[in-house]
């Protein structure tokens, strides 16, 4: 045997599936550096499903015999079970999930039949297909988590229709609101987040499998057959786009980042509100931790960590945008860097939704502390100005007069409500009643009966709309789950 031949012999690790072109073994550092199996194993379920659909299609168009199809499908089903039970052993030398599964199929059914599976496909269209299926399922899981949180918020809102606190702008007391109204604001934001995940799912309708490495195939593949088997409505239209694009992943990451920002803002309020300075809420013991040094401490770690993890989820979006921005068509190996950000954002968001739901559901509201803060007469200054407007005074003029009234109260340490009609006339002649009549907490809340305002009936109506909207959307998601032809389980 010549030196060359013996090199070749040695360089032919039975595990590698790219065969004849290579004469040397991959350097072990390169193997470690390029392998993705330690994270893309999360796609195993989808990869097996995609391979089964592909094998069935190959037989359907006459590219493989019925016996081979049966052997391949049964082999893949066995591998699916091995992965599920943890019996499967993942080999980093086999680089990624696609080659790990195909190599195992060779062990299970023999290389001759197993070697027919990769007909007319490439890992490039495989990974795009796996990801589309993963994103479809994970977006549904995120939606479900959002609906649970909205349900917790609306249920706490119903308890606190008559709990009043200051609404803030610039974290300065602005105008009084009902706690229900305050929490319903987050219900609206989260409703749009869920709708964004729904939009994404509705956009994942095209199946990349069959696009091959990037140009399609000379073989008579039936891409519609594969697409239908995997629950897509059609094949992707352009083979190059099929393997080159990650905008669906970016859309997922961006929706996750926006939703995390909303959770972070909820968290920020939980942190502030549970401080001694506010004392508006107490988080339950199950959602707080103590200090190892200071025995008196009860720390809001759960909302703090949600707020902290938001940084990573935003980073994940920026990471993939940055990976993609300079890539020429079509597939480039850089794109393997899409997976860790996606998996991390998915699990971080779902976990954050779950703990935020629990924290909201179990926190205690200090109704008195909120009421004390809301009894600040300055919260009614706008109402005094609007009283003048009702008497025909232009708003800018009213605003200026009440501004001077407020300054007078601040300087002399007076309660705005203590001013008589006479006192008020010193600031504007149109005033026709004492401040205590023109500006009351009740009128401030009840007077704002415009759509989206703080009046009790308005808030009750908004709450009812939010509750039934949430139930309808949850039901719809559950219905879609049972009608998914692939049996995909959006958790």
- Positions touching ligand ARG (CB under 6 A) are 36, 40, 96, 123-124, 127, 331, 333, 335-336
Is 225 noted as a catalytic residue in this protein? Answer: no
CB nearer to ligand ARG: give 47 or 137.
47
Residue 472 CB, shortest distance to ligand ARG, in Å, is 38
Considering 6, 28, 233, 291, which one is annotated as catalytic? 291
User: How many residues are given for the chain?
Assistant: 491
Question: C-beta of 336: minimal distance to ligand ARG in Å?
Answer: 4
Closer CB to ligand ARG, 335 or 409, in the complex: 335
Check residue 331 and give left, alpha or beta (phi > 0: left; psi -120 to 50: alpha): beta
In the complex, what is the shortest distance from the CB of residue 127 to ligand ARG, in angstroms, rounded to a whole number?
Answer: 4
CB of 38 or CB of 404, closer to ligand ARG: 38
Give the sign of the dihedral formed by CA 294, CA 295, CA 300, CA 302.
positive
Neighbours of 95 (CB within 10 A): 23
Mapped onto helix, strand or coil, the DSSP state of residue 368 is: helix
Tell me whether residue 255 or residue 336 sits nearer to ligand ARG (CB atom): 336
Residue 173 CA to residue 370 CA, distance in Å, equals 12
- Beta strand 234-235 with 206-207 is parallel
Min CB(334)–ligand ARG separation in Å? 9
Choice between 122 and 458, CB closer to ligand ARG: 122
CB 158 within 8 Å of CB 459: no
- The DSSP secondary-structure symbol of 115 reads T
Residue 39 phi/psi, 5-degree rounding, is: -120, -35
Beta-sheet pairing, 206-207 with 364-365: unpaired
252: burial class by Cβ within 10 Å (0-12, 13-18, 19+)? buried
Of the residues 14, 89, 170, 292, only one is catalytic, namely 170
| 3-state DSSP assignment of residue 265 | helix
Q: How far is the CB of 123 from ligand ARG (least distance, A)?
A: 3
Residue 6 is among the residues annotated as catalytic for this protein: no
Strands 206-207, 172-178: pairing is unpaired
CB of 313 to ligand ARG, least distance (A): 21
- Three-state helix/strand/coil letters over 10-67: HCCCCCCCCHHHCCCCCCHHHHHHHCCHHHHHHHHHHHHHHHHHHHHHHHHCCCCCHH
Q: How many CA atoms lie within 13 A of 55 on its CB side?
A: 26
- Closest contact distance (angstroms) between CB of 331 and ligand ARG is 6
Select 127 or 466, whichever has its Cβ closest to ligand ARG.
127
Q: Which residue is nearest to ligand ARG (CB)?
A: 123
Quick one: tokens of 69? 């199809």
For residue 262, what are the CA distances in angstroms to 12, 312, 474? 53, 14, 20
Q: Which is nearer to ligand ARG, 340 or 469 (CB)?
A: 340
Annotated catalytic residues are 170, 291
């Amino acid at each position: 045997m010549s030196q060359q031949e013996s090199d070749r012999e040695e360089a032919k690790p039975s595990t590698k599936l790219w065969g004849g072109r290579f004469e040397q073994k991959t350097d072990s550092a390169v193997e470690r550096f390029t392998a993705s199996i330690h994270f893309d194993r999360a796609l195993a379920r989808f990869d097996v499903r995609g391979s089964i659909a592909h094998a069935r299609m190959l037989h359907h168009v006459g590219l493989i015999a019925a016996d081979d199809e049966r052997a391949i499908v049964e082999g893949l089903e066995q591998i699916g079970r091995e992965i599920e039970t943890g019996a499967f052993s993942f080999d980093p030398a086999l680089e990624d999930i696609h080659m790990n599964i195909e190599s195992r199929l060779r062990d299970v059914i023999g290389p001759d039949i197993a070697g027919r599976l990769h007909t007319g496909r490439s890992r490039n269209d495989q990974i795009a297909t796996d990801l589309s299926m993963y994103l479809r399922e994970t977006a549904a899981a995120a939606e479900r988590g959002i609906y649970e949180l909205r349900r917790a918020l609306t249920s706490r809102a119903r308890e606190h229709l008559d709990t009043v606190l200051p609404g803030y702008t610039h974290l300065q007391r602005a105008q009084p609101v009902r706690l229900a109204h305050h929490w319903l604001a987050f219900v609206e934001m989260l409703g749009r987040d869920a709708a964004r995940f729904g939009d994404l799912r509705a956009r994942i309708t095209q199946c990349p499998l069959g696009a091959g490495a990037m140009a399609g195939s000379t073989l008579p593949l039936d891409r519609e057959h594969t697409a239908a088997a995997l629950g897509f409505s059609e094949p992707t239209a352009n083979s190059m786009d099929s393997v080159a694009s990650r905008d669906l992943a970016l859309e997922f990451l961006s929706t996750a980042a926006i939703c995390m920002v909303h959770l972070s803002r909820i968290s920020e309020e939980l942190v502030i509100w549970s401080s001694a300075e506010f004392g508006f809420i107490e988080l339950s013991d199950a959602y707080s931790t103590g200090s190892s040094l200071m025995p008196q401490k009860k720390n809001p770690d759960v909302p703090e960590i949600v707020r902290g993890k938001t940084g990573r989820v935003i980073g994940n979006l920026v990471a993939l945008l940055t990976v993609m921005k300079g890539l020429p068509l079509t597939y480039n190996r850089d794109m393997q860097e899409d997976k860790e950000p996606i998996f991390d954002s998915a699990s971080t968001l779902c976990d954050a939704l779950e703990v935020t739901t629990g924290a909201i559901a179990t926190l205690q509201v200090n109704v008195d502390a909120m009421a004390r803060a809301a009894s600040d007469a300055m919260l009614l200054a706008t109402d005094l100005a609007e009283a003048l407007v009702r008497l025909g005074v232009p708003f800018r003029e009213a605003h200026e007069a009440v501004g001077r009234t407020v300054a007078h109260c601040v300087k002399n340490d007076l309660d705005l409500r203590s001013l008589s009609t006479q006192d008020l006339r010193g600031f504007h002649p149109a005033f026709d009643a004492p401040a205590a009549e023109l500006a009351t907490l009740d009128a401030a809340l009840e007077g704002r009966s415009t759509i989206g305002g703080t009046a009790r009936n308005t808030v009750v109506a908004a709450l009812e709309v939010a509750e039934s909207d949430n139930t309808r959307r949850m039901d719809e998601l559950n219905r879609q789950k049972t009608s998914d032809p692939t049996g995909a389980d959006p958790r």
